Chains A and B, each alone.
Chain A
Amino acid sequence: MNTSVRQDSLPSPVPHYESLGGQTSSGLVKVNEAVRSAASYVSPSQRISEIRALAGLTIEQVGRLFGVSRRSVHNWINGNAMAPQHEEQARKILDVVRSLPGSSPDERRSALLDSSHGSSLFHELIALRGEPERLQTAGVSARERIGL
């Protein structure tokens, strides 16, 4: 599995502050926070790659966690930006995946898919994702259409 992470998608990290020269103590705090924030920034590509590397998930499975196509996942891995709702979902997924028991991707994947107690963690994550409103609906139920 390719777990390399593109570094060129980091945003321009440090906002401009009037006190960037370190004139005041409060200004310095702001600068330090901004630098720390930039250093800890995890790009969508990094998040997806880490999720896949830790839990051994396929592109298709990652797509289902977000409710997007495989193409979208590939695009994220290649450095495309994520919509805010997907960034939020990526953070949640990564938190869960990082906390999974096991020492290998296979073991962590098994823990993620374990449904012996009902819903697996994988499906609890799917339930967290937002869904667009459904426009196509069938006005007559399957039972009625089969003549029962």
Chain B
Amino acid sequence: MRRPTVGHVVADDCSNLRQGDVVELRELRLPVADGEFEIVATPAGVAILSQTCDVVQPSKQRCLVAPVFAHPTDAALSSARKGQKPLHLYLESGESGADRCIADIERAASILKSELSGTRIMARYVADSSGGQARAVAWRIGRAFSRFPFPDEVYPAFSRLRHQAQEKAGSAGNFGRVLDLVEDLRVSADQWASPGRRLTLYIVVAEERLVPSDEMDPNWQWDPSRITGLRSGELPSSLSLDRVCELLLANLDGDRTSLGHLWKTFGETVEAKLLTSSLDVEVVSFGVEVLSDSEMTYRQYQQTEGLDLEVLSDSTDTSS
């Protein structure tokens, strides 16, 4: 981290700026009705949304910035960190020691780079322009614009899934802890346009935690001697979601084959306990496939969209 950058002024050509930087620009002109502009005070500065290469590129005249909320509440910061409002860009300190903040992408504006030159850099959230923090900031900015527009008709099914998950598992239970081990949740449909959709939920797990079937121990059996914590007589089909998750967590560092079978049972239980009840005329089937990140093909990735129940809303919802 080149901390001395914070507090310095923006160079004439903006060559020392990065995406995610917060710059001390005190006001922003936002277009309003009838070609008029509103002058918005930005006492907490503005965040740079443009990609770093575009910011520093001399041929680019303009830069996209978003006002930073002054004095965000802890609840607002928590909500933004969880991505509940994608237009609220959460920026966290990382190594810089800068305070966490939220930039309001809804009020983003394109300004001339010359307006930024000479202003003070108030905070830097990306230590290395090609590092992990840069990717995280870029991902959050991209997420505000690039989410697949799920049709309104599937929203009730997703909503019931979310309700079931919260009711049956809660936020502090084993289900949540297992979800912390999941790399990605993605969903596909045979078609999205008409009723009768057949959906598949892909639960993507790191290869280190889910070995492919052909790498499993061929002599393995569902038995307490191979599954830590399994009681005699417990069968996969008789386990509750919480119990499957409890066993999965108890076997994380043990037999990879046992863990693989428990992930399979997890998928089957999620389908039976959480997804079946979400079906209706719009979504007539909702299956689950648990697979490792090395098994998911690029084609599957293209056919799926990240499932993000926190930001789903139908187009008639004006609450957010």
Interface, chain A (partner B; CB < 8 A): 58, 60-61, 64, 67, 110, 113-120, 122-123, 126-127, 135-148
Contact = CB atoms under 8 A, between A and B. Distances in A.
Given A120-B217, A139-B140, A141-B179, A115 B257 contact: yes
Chain B interface: which size bin?
35 or more
Contacts of B220: 115
B184 A64 contact: no
Interface string B209-245: 0011011111110000010000000000000000000
Contact of B215 (A123, A139, A143): A123
B164 to A, nearest CB: 10
A142 to B, nearest CB: 4
A147 B214 CA distance: 34
B149 to A, nearest CB: 17
Interface string B174-199: 01100110111100000000000000
A145 B215 contact: no
A148 B176 contact: yes
Given A140-B310, A148-B166, A148-B179, A113 B218 contact: yes
Given A115-B256, A142-B184, A146-B309, 17 more contacts: A110-B217, A113-B216, A113-B218, A115-B255, A123-B211, A123-B215, A137-B132, A139-B136, A139-B143, A144-B82, A144-B83, A144-B310, A146-B161, A146-B307, A147-B310, A148-B166, A148-B175
18 contacts: A110-B218, A113-B218, A115-B255, A116-B226, A117-B255, A118-B253, A118-B255, A120-B256, A126-B207, A127-B208, A138-B183, A145-B185, A145-B310, A146-B165, A146-B179, A147-B310, A148-B171, A148-B175
Contacts of A147: 162, 165-166, 309-310
Interface in B154-173: 161-162, 165-166, 169-171
B135 interface: yes
Given A116-B217, A120-B215, A142 B185 contact: yes
Contact of A61 (B136, B215, B218, B226): B215
B294 interface: yes
